[in-house]
Amino acid sequence: MSHAPSAGAAIPKAQFDTRPLWLLAAVMAAGAALVGSGSTWLTLTVAGLAMGLIVFIIASGLTLVFGLMDVLNFGHGVFIAVGAFVATSVMGGMADWTGSASLGANLVAVGAAMVVAMAVAGAIGLVFERLIVRPVYGQHLKQILITMGGMIIGEELIKVIWGPAQIPLPLPESLRGALLLGDAAVERYRLLAVVIGLGVFALLAWVLGRTKLGLLIRAGVQDREMVEALGYRVRHLFLGVFVAGSALAGLGGVLWGLYQQSVVPQIGAQVNTLIFIVIIIGGLGSTLGSFVGALLVGLAANYLGFVAPKAALFSNIALMMAVLLWRPQGLYPVGGR
């Protein structure tokens, strides 16, 4: 005879999977073994973390849009490019601030570029969702085709506004050069990128996991009709998610442009392949997966770029294949993806 569980019985919690984190630690240990020198390893590790976290910021917007809205937005690169080009205009107009030796003035200029880039990219994302994405909700093939078309049109409009030529985006004065940590040289800008990337990840994790807004968004994904019956407009929630994802891409575009120290109209398309690799490694729709996947990509690219430069050309593809052979759905798969 079966007995019903008591009201006070504890509900078992799902155990957190730490194996992808051990994989990250293993890559760092392998890098230390391959590089040999501790100071060189530290320099490459910080560079890899910075690259990975910039890629994560860009990929996080696309991860949000797919994970919560089931939209394959291949036009995500246009928001990256817009953010980068807006940064050239804002920072070019604040030359006195970027050329100053004051760290505070430089950070104000970079912060202003980020805020304006996020606002412009978010506004374009609002129009993009209403005109291009909304008519093809639930139709993945049409989403791929129409959003790729949107990105091509966006690139041409960028050429009309800023021109087709490469535009320099130099680092502000106090963010150039490196800090010496013992015998290791760590670039100042990459330390800033690490701090911003960790901040974005922490903010996303908090909003999605600890706030009422995050609860409503996740509930809307699971049971849209029930959430609407409670009086919430799920369409408005999802529109906000798309705008937020576009704004994050704009922020990532600023960071990537400063990382490259120049921008071209194709900058978004150039990064698109990399961010899709990160999302596939992490698991479609998983913010934590994208975070770990981006760090793996950044570290592997920097370690191999130092030890075997030719191998670094295909390190991202090789890493994706290895992860998918181990976990076909990615490091942290989301149910139903």
Task: Provide the residue-wise pLDDT of the chain in tens; the chain has 337 residues.
Answer: 555 555 555 555 667 889 999 999 999 999 999 888 788 899 999 999 999 999 999 998 888 888 777 788 899 999 999 999 999 999 999 988 988 888 899 999 999 999 999 999 999 999 999 999 988 888 888 999 999 999 999 999 999 999 999 999 999 989 988 888 777 888 899 999 999 999 999 999 999 888 988 888 777 766 777 877 878 887 888 888 899 999 999 999 999 999 999 999 999 988 988 999 999 999 888 889 999 999 999 999 999 999 888 887 788 999 999 999 999 998 998 765 5
> So what's the pLDDT on residue 14?
65
Q: Tell me how crowded residue 101 is: count the other CB atoms within 10 A of its CB.
A: 9
Could you give the C-alpha distances from 92 to 99, 172, 227, in angstroms and in order? Answer: 10, 11, 46
312 contacts: CB under 8 Å, gap ≥ 6 = 301, 304, 305
User: Which residues are within 8 A (CB) of 276 and not within 5 positions of it... i.e. 6 or more apart?
Assistant: 62
Residue 310 to residues 120, 219, 271, Cα–Cα distance (Å): 38, 46, 20
Burial 78-91 (b: 16+ CB within 10 A, else e): bbbbbbbbbbbbbb
User: Degrees (nearest 5) of the Cα angle 264, 267, 268?
Assistant: 140
Separation CA 173–CA 163 (nearest Å): 26
Q: What pTM was estimated for this model as a whole?
A: 0.90
CA of residue 28 relative to chain centroid, distance: 21
- Alpha-carbon torsion (236, 238, 244, 247), positive or negative: negative
What's the CA gap between 194 and 320, in Å, rounded?
Answer: 23
User: What number of other Cβ atoms are within 10 A of residue 119's Cβ?
Assistant: 13
Which residue carries 């809205």 as its tokens? 69
Q: What distance in Å separates the CA atoms of residue 271 and residue 58, rounded to the nearest whole number?
A: 9
Provide the pLDDT for residue 161: 94
Cβ atoms of residues 63 and 285 within 8 Å: yes
* pLDDT for the residue 3: 54
Sequence-separated (6 or more) residues with CB below 8 Å from residue 254: 83, 84, 86, 87, 110, 113, 114, 117
| DSSP notation for 48-63 | HHHHHHHHHHHHHHHH
Can you name the residues that pair with 187 across neighbouring β-strands? 178
